């Protein structure tokens, strides 16, 4: 059921876009965001980009073992972050969401600590890098098996509905995830239950090397929502305001009891799938350059500049301030020190088990 | 005291826990108005309504995965998988999500949930309604695995499993669902996980079993008594955590042990128990510890009963141990 008051039509052939490449507001409704919010969206994008670049450096320095590049995804992630209530709503992210997490207030030193597996990581260094999670902010700890977090996201949303908490779940994933059986099972169940959840596909067109044409016969991921009985929105994910407004509408619908939405954000990752990938073997440099020219950050700078909210000097000052903030966070994370080996026996179960106690003694005798 | 069979014990445990704690919800295929294909949830939908007794789509990944998310968000879900043989589409949710949530989040999140599943053979079901897949789960850190063999234990252990703060795989021996009836105390009680039960005391040989074949172990012990052999029967009841102390105490006394289970032998939980006994009690053993299990074939439609450890098979291995 699509109300007249909703701004967006689902299942459009062309992506929903609110600012054009030159930074003009082209929507058919008035912008209702404060200067402060617009600047926060910009800051969140820049922080995400710089954090991604900084991760490459700590990878080269040997301080981390793995990076999942996210440059190109910033507008989508900053927009989504603005659409939820951090610490109230729940987030079930995937491994390429550093802009999103930093934007909702996940302390950057804890993100670094997860990357470097130091004691400051609330996940106690149990997982490979790019797998953060923070209970305090209702950020469900990332798991590697693709789409496996989507059924639990639906379960949390059903719990919210049963308990009438007014919360909403936002879950993100890449285009490859939409091929998994668990993804289908989750969306199908969410539709049947009318669960308060937003499914967000960050469609960067590649699942490692496999492009979207080989991933699916559907021209758009958003179309798949038809089959589950809820709206699917096809969005220019390099337009931060389109990302924000569509995510906001999807969240509002969920909170109003109208059930799930699927939002497909068209993005592009400039880097390889991960630090273990070489994308030169499966896509041309021309293609990457084509997308870099559509970069969401300069596009939003042009938008802000037209409103007197940005100058190149201000942009530079902000970058320098963020770089300093990131270096400080990195140092803090590193100073926390390595996770001790015997921690491996904690949190297997809530209560002690003789078997693990025995095995812990074996380990301790080897140290 | 009421006389209950195992299905009725499951139903009473669910009912009591749902009445005690409104966070407890039941979900699965046909668990609502139908009351489950084995009627283990009969009447619960009518009593607690559709928000707490949730009919799900036919998708085990959705059932188990949603249970993980519900549990992480504060509910106490009890998921029903119609047959243990159908758990595999939900296997990744149990192994990658449920089992590892507490660990991978450093204890920030947890999945206090139960996944109930009718398990084991003897019901003319062929291999897709008869398997005993417990070893997949005992092999997975973070899961607890419980396999009761009596109505009293089913009631007490299921209640404990629902209150447990970790994911518990609760495997119900379906061939015993209505085959065993016993008087069960009317007052509320629970049974701790990880405690075995000595079903019968003996001095010459220990028969260690769990779930369905506990019945055959008891019958074999009776046969052995007729020929002057005193067999002790230890029912493990819980595989993770398991009661090593009780097992070793019994085998230290008898010097001989058979580990009896329906599941195929290779990489089985029976192998784990047998290896542990041999590692810890080698000096006191009078014979090797034999595993008396199902065969390493898919579970056949016919001969259905001969696949499982029969009384004859148990007696043959007992003779081997006694004659060693």
Interface test with B, best of A136, A152, A163, A170 (most B CBs within 10 A): A152
Residues 98-137 of B with CB under 8 A from A: 100-110
Q: Does CATH place domain B2-184 in 3.40.50.970?
A: yes
Res A5: pLDDT: 75
Is the pLDDT confidence value at B189 over 80? yes
Res B304: pLDDT: 82
Which of B54, B96, B110 is facing A350, going by the closest CB pair? B110
Res A4: pLDDT: 60
Number of helices (H), then strands (E), in chain A: 13, 7
Catalytic position from the list B73, B128, B129, B139? B129
- Any idea which of A91-100, A268-277, B104-113 has the lowest mean pLDDT? A268-277
C-alpha span between A236 and A53 (Å, rounded): 23
Mean of pLDDT values over A75-102: 98
Which of A135, A141, A151 is facing B62, going by the closest CB pair? A151
CA distance B303 to chain A (A): 35
Closest alpha carbon to B200 in B189, B180, B187, B215:
B215
Crossing angle of the two packed helices A240-255 and A74-83, in degrees rounded to 10: 30
A155 in the Ramachandran plot: left (φ > 0), alpha (ψ -120 to 50) or beta?
alpha
| Residues near B93 by beta carbon (within 8 Å), at least 6 away in sequence | A148, A151, A152, A182, B60, B61, B64, B65, B68
Nearest CA in chain A to B29: A189
| Residues near A181 by beta carbon (within 8 Å), at least 6 away in sequence | B61, B89
Q: Quick check: is B129 catalytic?
A: yes
Q: What mean pLDDT is reported for chain A? A: 96
Subunit contact B69:A159, Cβ cutoff 8 A: yes
B303 confidence band (pLDDT: 50, 70, 90): confident
Q: Is A290 helix (H, G, I), strand (E, B) or coil?
A: helix
Segment B85-113, tens digit of pLDDT: 999 999 999 999 999 999 999 999 999 99
Q: Quick check: is A96 catalytic?
A: no
| B61 contact residues in A (CB cutoff 8 A) | 151, 181-182, 185-186
Is the pLDDT confidence value at B56 over 90? yes
CB-based contact, B181 to chain A, within 8 Å? no
Q: Which residues of B115-136 are buried (b: 16+ CB within 10 A; e: fewer)?
A: bbbbbbbbeebbeebbbbbbbb
Catalytic position from the list A282, A283, A302, A319? A282
Mean of pLDDT values over B268-280: 98
Q: Is B289 helix (H, G, I), strand (E, B) or coil?
A: coil
Is the pLDDT confidence value at A1 over 50? no
Question: Which residue(s) pair with A203 in the sheet?
Answer: A266
| Residues near A235 by beta carbon (within 8 Å), at least 6 away in sequence | A15, A16, A17, A76, A242, A243, A246, A263, A264, A265, A266
CB-based contact, B68 to chain A, within 8 Å? yes
Handedness of CA A54, A57, A61, A67 (dihedral sign): positive
Sketch the domain layout of chain B as residue ranges: 2-184, 197-323
Is the pLDDT confidence value at A2 over 70? no
Q: Which two tokens stand for residue B228?
A: 């002057």
| B103 contact residues in A (CB cutoff 8 A) | 126, 347-348
- For residue B184, give the H/E element and its range: strand B182-184
Half-sphere exposure of A170 (CA within 13 A, CB side): 36
Segment B17-34, tens digit of pLDDT: 999 999 999 999 999 999
Is the pLDDT confidence value at B241 over 70? yes
C-alpha span between A131 and B141 (Å, rounded): 20
CA distance A152 to chain B (A): 4
Architecture of the structural domain at B197-323 = 3-Layer(aba) Sandwich (3.40)
Which of A154, A347, A353 is facing B69, going by the closest CB pair? A154
Judge if B2-184 and B197-323 fold alike in CATH terms: yes
β-pair type (B2-4, A206-207): unpaired
Could you tell me the domains of chain A? 35-336 (3.40.50.970), 343-367 (no CATH)
Subunit contact A182:B244, Cβ cutoff 8 A: no
- For residue A43, give the H/E element and its range: helix A35-60
Segment A158-202, tens digit of pLDDT: 999 999 999 999 999 999 999 999 999 999 999 999 999 999 999
Closest alpha carbon to B98 in B145, B146, B167:
B167
CA distance B111 to chain A (A): 10
CA distance B304 to chain A (A): 33
CB-based contact, B61 to chain A, within 8 Å? yes
Place of tokens 């809820």: A230
Q: Are B253 and B224 in contact (CB under 8 A)?
A: no
C-alpha span between A194 and A118 (Å, rounded): 40
Residues in chain B: 324
Please state the separation of Cα A36 from the chain's center in Å.
Answer: 22
Taking one residue from A and the other from B, the number of pairs with CB-CB distance under 8 angstroms is 156
Catalytic position from the list A131, A205, A269, A299? A269
Segment A208-254, tens digit of pLDDT: 999 999 999 999 999 999 999 999 999 999 999 999 999 999 999 99
C-alpha span between A187 and A200 (Å, rounded): 11
* Cα radius of gyration rounded to whole Å, chain B: 19
């Amino acid at each position: 059921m699509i109300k007249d008051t909703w701004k967006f039509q689902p299942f459009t052939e062309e992506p929903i876009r609110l600012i054009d490449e030159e930074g003009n507001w082209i929507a058919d409704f008035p912008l209702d965001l404060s200067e402060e919010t617009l600047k926060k969206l910009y800051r969140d994008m820049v922080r995400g980009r710089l954090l991604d670049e900084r991760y490459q450096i700590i990878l080269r320095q040997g301080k981390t073992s793995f990076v999942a590049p996210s440059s190109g995804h910033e507008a989508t992630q900053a927009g989504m972050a603005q659409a939820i209530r951090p610490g109230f709503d729940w987030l079930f992210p995937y491994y390429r969401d550093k802009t999103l997490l930093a934007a909702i207030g996940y302390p950057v030193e804890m993100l670094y600590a997860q990357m470097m597996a130091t004691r400051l990581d609330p996940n106690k260094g149990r997982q490979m890098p790019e797998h953060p999670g923070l209970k305090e902010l209702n950020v469900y700890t990332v798991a590697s098996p693709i789409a496996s977090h989507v059924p639990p996201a639906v379960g949390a949303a059903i719990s919210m509905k049963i308990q009438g908490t007014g919360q909403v779940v936002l879950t993100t994933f890449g285009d490859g995830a939409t091929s998994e059986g668990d993804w289908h099972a989750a969306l199908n169940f969410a539709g049947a239950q009318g669960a308060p959840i937003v499914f967000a596909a960050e469609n960067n067109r590649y699942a490692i090397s496999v492009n979207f044409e080989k991933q699916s016969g559907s021209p758009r991921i958003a179309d798949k929502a038809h089959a589950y009985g809820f709206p699917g929105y096809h969005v220019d994910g390099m337009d931060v305001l389109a990302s924000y407004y569509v995510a906001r509408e999807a969240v509002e619908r969920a909170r109003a009891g109208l059930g799930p939405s699927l939002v497909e954000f068209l993005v592009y990752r400039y880097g390889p799938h991960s630090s273990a990938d070489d994308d030169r073997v499966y896509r041309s440099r021309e293609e990457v350059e084509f997308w870099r020219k559509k970069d969401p950050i300069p596009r939003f700078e042009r938008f802000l500049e037209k409103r007197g909210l940005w100058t190149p000097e201000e942009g530079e000052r902000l970058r320098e301030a963020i770089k300093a903030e990131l270096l400080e966070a990195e140092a803090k994370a590193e100073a926390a020190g390595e996770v001790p080996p015997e921690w491996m026996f904690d949190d297997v179960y809530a209560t002690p088990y003789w078997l693990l106690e025995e095995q812990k003694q074996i380990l301790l005798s080897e140290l | 005291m009421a006389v209950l069979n195992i299905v009725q014990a499951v139903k009473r445990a669910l009912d009591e826990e749902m009445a005690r704690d409104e966070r407890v919800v039941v979900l699965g295929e046909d668990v609502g108005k139908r009351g489950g294909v084995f009627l283990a949830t009969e009447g619960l939908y009518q009593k607690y309504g559709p928000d707490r007794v949730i009919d799900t789509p036919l998708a085990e990944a959705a059932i188990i995965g949603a249970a993980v998310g519900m549990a992480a968000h504060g509910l106490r879900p009890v998921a029903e998988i119609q047959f243990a043989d159908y758990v595999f589409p939900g296997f990744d949710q149990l192994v990658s999500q449920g089992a590892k949530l507490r660990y991978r989040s450093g204890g920030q999140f947890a999945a206090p949930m139960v996944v109930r599943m009718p398990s084991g053979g003897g019901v003319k079901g062929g291999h897709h309604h008869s398997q005993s897949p417990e070893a997949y789960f005992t092999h997975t850190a973070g899961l607890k695995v419980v396999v009761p063999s009596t109505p009293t234990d089913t009631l007490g252990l299921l209640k404990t499993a629902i209150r447990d703060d970790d994911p518990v795989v609760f495997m119900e021996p379906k061939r015993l669902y209505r085959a065993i009836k016993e008087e069960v105390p009317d007052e509320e009680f629970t049974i701790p996980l990880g405690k075995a039960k000595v079903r019968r005391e003996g001095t010459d040989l220990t028969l260690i079993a769990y779930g369905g074949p506990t019945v055959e172990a008891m019958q074999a012990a009776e046969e052995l008594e007729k020929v002057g052999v005193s067999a002790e029967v230890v029912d493990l009841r819980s595989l993770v955590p398991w009661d090593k102390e009780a097992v070793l105490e019994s085998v230290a006394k008898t010097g001989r042990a058979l580990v009896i289970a329906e599941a195929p032998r290779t990489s089985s939980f029976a192998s784990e128990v047998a290896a542990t006994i041999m590692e810890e009690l080698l000096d006191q053993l009078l014979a090797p510890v034999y595993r008396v299990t199902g065969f390493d074939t898919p579970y056949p439609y016919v001969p259905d009963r001969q696949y499982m450890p029969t009384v004859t098979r148990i007696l043959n291995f007992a003779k081997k141990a006694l004659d060693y």
